[in-house]
Each structure stands twice: as C-alpha cells, then as structure tokens.
Amino acid sequence: MKTVIVCKSVSHGNTRKIADVIGEVLGARIVDPGEIDAAELGGYDLVGFASGVRYMEFYPELVEFVRGLPQARGQQAFLFHTSGFPETPLRRYKRDFQALLAQKGFRVLDTFDCYGYDTWAPLMIVGGVRKGRPNAEDLAAARAFAEKLRARVTATS
C-alpha cells in the first residue's frame, strides 16, 4: 500500500510527531504541502492530511493545497490534527476540512486528533497549555489508529 501524508506542522512540531508514528506504521512518505506536486497524489493508494490548528482553523497552507487539487474520484484518505483545545460547536474546522476533501473527491476513511502543546499569544504568559503533549499515550493512540487504518485498507484491497 503506497501511502503519503501531507503534513503541516509549525509551532512545536506536535503534528509532525503524530505523523512520524502514523507514517512508520503505514510505511508512508511524509511531506509538507510545498514539497509535493498535486498531480503526484494520484499515484498513492492512501493519502493522509495532517495539520496543527491555529486560530481554530487548519493551517492555511494545507487548506490552499487541497483547494488546488484536481478531483480525486474516490481516492482513499484519512485526516488527523493536533490542537491545544477541542473543536467548538461554533468553529467546526475538522468537519469543514472533511467537507473540502469530499468536494475534491476523496473518501475519508477515518480521522484522529489529539492535544498538542500550545503557546498561542495569551497562553504564552502562563507557559502554554497541554505541556508535554502529545505524550506517550497520545503516540500509542496514534499507532493504534494507524494499525486499524492499515488493516481496514488492506482488507478492502
């Protein structure tokens, strides 16, 4: 199973830590949106999309990358993100990103999210939130997610 993870991880590398674990299980290539041509994605059996959350949104570089993609026609995908706070009913960034992937023709098989260390502006004063996250438990959960995803994709191919 040929897999790529398009990952935008900025502040503390939280999302990249999760991507490394998931990528290891899936044998995936991990790239920044600026490191891969959109046309290359068609050559993969499974595409992961990963982002940290800033201002209650996925990183704009990843969102713009996906907006610029050609139609995927049912290509299998998964999504994961890290953030300092849970998604709120007023800002459904994960649901919005999944809808964007669906508009582009991707079939999102599963999603994963976990807390990440966050020192966004006012939080810096108190040393941030979710210090030490993602932790060993988060990484183990990411590994379990990837193993379940791998089994699901392998069973259907």
3 state SS of 60: helix
What is the enclosing helix (H) or strand (E) of 131?
none
Q: How does residue 84 score in pLDDT terms, banded at 50, 70 and 90?
A: low
**How far is residue 9's CA from residue 32's CA, in Å, rounded to a whole number?**
8
Q: How does residue 105 score in pLDDT terms, banded at 50, 70 and 90?
A: very high
pLDDT at position 12 is 73
Report the range of poorest mean pLDDT among 47-51, 83-87, 142-146: 83-87
Q: How does residue 54 score in pLDDT terms, banded at 50, 70 and 90?
A: confident
Give buried/exposed letters for 97-115 (b at 16+ CB in 10 A, else e): bbebbeebebebbebbbbb
Amino acid at 11: S
**How far is residue 128's CA from residue 141's CA, in Å, rounded to a whole number?**
23
Q: How does residue 73 score in pLDDT terms, banded at 50, 70 and 90?
A: confident
Closest of 105, 35, 39 to residue 75, by C-alpha: 105
**How far is residue 87's CA from residue 73's CA, in Å, rounded to a whole number?**
29
DSSP 104: T
pLDDT at position 148 is 96
Return the CATH superfamily for domain 3-156.
Flavodoxin domain (3.40.50.360)
What is the enclosing helix (H) or strand (E) of 98?
helix 93-103
Report the range of poorest mean pLDDT among 42-46, 74-78, 126-130, 153-157: 126-130
Q: How does residue 13 score in pLDDT terms, banded at 50, 70 and 90?
A: confident
Q: Which residue has the higher pLDDT, 47 or 126?
A: 47
3 state SS of 72: coil
**How far is residue 86's CA from residue 99's CA, in Å, rounded to a whole number?**
19
Residue ranges covered by each domain of the chain: 3-156
Q: Which residue has the higher pLDDT, 134 or 28?
A: 28
Six-digit token string for 45: 């059996």
Q: Which pLDDT tens digit goes with each residue over 122-157?
A: 666 556 656 766 899 999 999 999 999 999 988 776
| First vs last C-alpha separation in the chain | 9
